A and B are shown apart, each in its own frame.
Chain A
Amino acid sequence: MKITEALRGRQVICCVGSGGVGKTTTAAALALQAAMDGKRALVLTIDPARRLANSLGLKELGNEETRIDPAMFAAAGLQPRGEMWAMMLDLKHSWDELVREQSKSAEQAERILANHIYQSLSTAMAGSLEYIAMEKVYEVHASGRFDVVVLDTPPTSNALDFLHAADRVLDVLDNNAFRILLGPMMKAGKFGLRLLAAPSGLVLRTLARFTGAAFLKDVADFMLAFDGMYDGFKLRAGKVRDLLKSQKAAFVLVTSPNPLTIQEALFFYRALADDGIKTAAVVVNRVQRDPRRQGGPDNIPALREALALAQIKDDAGLAERLCQTLSEQSTLADLDRREVERLQRSLAGVPLCQVPRLRKDVHDLAGLWQIDGFLGSGGE
Chain B
Amino acid sequence: MSLLDRRLVVVTGKGGTGKSTLSAALALTAARQGKKTLVCEVVARERVSELFGRPPSGTKIRELMPNLYSVHVRPREAMKEYALMTIKYETLYKIAFENAAARYFLAAAPSLAEIVMLGKVWWHAAHDMERGKLRWDLVILDAPATGHGLTFLTVPEAFVGLVSEGPLARDMRGMQSLLADPARCSVCIATLPEEMPANEAIELDKALRKHGFPSGPLFLNGYFESRFSPAEVSAVTRGGPLLASSGEAADNHESRAVLSAFYEKVLREAVPRELFKVPFLFERSGFGLGSLEKIALAIGAAT
Chain A residues within CB distance 8 Å of chain B: 18-20, 49-51, 116-117, 120-121, 124-126, 155, 157-158, 168, 171-172, 175-178, 180-181, 202-203, 206-215, 218-219, 222, 258-261, 291-298, 303, 306-307, 309-310, 312, 318, 321-322, 325-326, 328-329, 331-332, 334-335, 357, 359-361, 363
Nearest CB of B to A73, in Å:
23
**A291 near B252: Cβ-Cβ < 8 Å:** yes
**B92 near A181: Cβ-Cβ < 8 Å:** no
Flag whether B16 is at the interface (Cβ < 8 A): yes
* CB-defined contacts of A155 to chain B, threshold 8 Å: 15, 145
* CB-defined contacts of B129 to chain A, threshold 8 Å: none
Most buried by B among A177, A309, A334: A177
**B15 near A359: Cβ-Cβ < 8 Å:** no
Specify the chain B residue showing the minimal Cβ separation from A309. B242
**A20 near B246: Cβ-Cβ < 8 Å:** no
Interface 1/0 per residue, B66-92 and A, CB below 8 Å: 000000000000000001001100001
Nearest CB of A to B282, in Å:
5
**B99 near A307: Cβ-Cβ < 8 Å:** no
Chain B residues within CB distance 8 Å of chain A: 14-16, 43-44, 83, 86-87, 92-93, 95-97, 99-105, 107-112, 144-145, 148, 151, 162-169, 194-197, 199, 227-228, 232, 235-236, 239-253, 255, 259, 282, 284, 286
Partner of A328, one of B14, B110, B166, B282: B282
**A210 near B245: Cβ-Cβ < 8 Å:** no
Q: How far is the CA of A111 from the CA of B169 in the complex (A)?
A: 26
Partner of A211, one of B93, B107, B168, B227: B168
Partner of A307, one of B164, B167, B243, B244: B243
Q: How far is the CA of A155 from the CA of B15 in the complex (A)?
A: 9
CB-CB under 8 A for A212 and B164, given A178-B101, A219-B109, A296-B245: yes
Q: How far is the CA of A371 from the CA of B169 in the complex (A)?
A: 52
Task: Using A177-B103, A326-B245 as known contacts, list a sample of 9 further A-B pairs with CB atoms less than 8 Å apart, ordered by residue number in A.
Answer: A20-B16, A20-B196, A20-B197, A125-B107, A175-B104, A312-B239, A325-B253, A328-B282, A361-B194
* CB-defined contacts of B107 to chain A, threshold 8 Å: 125, 168, 171-172
Q: How far is the CA of A303 from the CA of B255 in the complex (A)?
A: 22
**B96 near A207: Cβ-Cβ < 8 Å:** yes
Main secondary structure of the interface of A (DSSP, over half): helix
**B14 near A20: Cβ-Cβ < 8 Å:** yes
CB-CB under 8 A for A298 and B245, given A19-B15, A322-B236: yes
Q: How far is the CA of A258 from the CA of B192 in the complex (A)?
A: 15
CB-CB under 8 A for A325 and B166, given A120-B109, A158-B44, A310-B242: no
**B109 near A297: Cβ-Cβ < 8 Å:** no
Partner of A291, one of B15, B248, B259: B248
**B235 near A312: Cβ-Cβ < 8 Å:** yes
Partner of B255, one of A120, A215, A297, A359: A359
* CB-defined contacts of A124 to chain B, threshold 8 Å: 110-111, 151
* Top 8 A-B pairs, shortest CB-CB distance: A177-B100, A206-B96, A310-B239, A294-B244, A306-B242, A175-B104, A291-B249, A212-B166
Partner of A203, one of B86, B99, B169, B241: B99
Q: How far is the CA of A297 from the CA of B246 in the complex (A)?
A: 8
**A19 near B16: Cβ-Cβ < 8 Å:** yes
Specify the chain B residue showing the minimal Cβ separation from A181. B101
- A-B pairs with beta carbons under 8 Å apart, 5 shown: A212-B165, A218-B162, A309-B242, A325-B250, A332-B282
CB-CB under 8 A for A322 and B44, given A20-B197, A120-B110, A310-B242: no
**B163 near A214: Cβ-Cβ < 8 Å:** yes
* CB-defined contacts of B167 to chain A, threshold 8 Å: 209-210
Q: How far is the CA of A180 from the CA of B99 in the complex (A)?
A: 12
**B109 near A117: Cβ-Cβ < 8 Å:** yes
Q: How far is the CA of A260 from the CA of B82 in the complex (A)?
A: 31
CB-CB under 8 A for A295 and B227, given A212-B168, A312-B236: no
Q: How far is the CA of A261 from the CA of B96 in the complex (A)?
A: 38
Q: How far is the CA of A216 from the CA of B228 in the complex (A)?
A: 64
* CB-defined contacts of B228 to chain A, threshold 8 Å: 318, 321
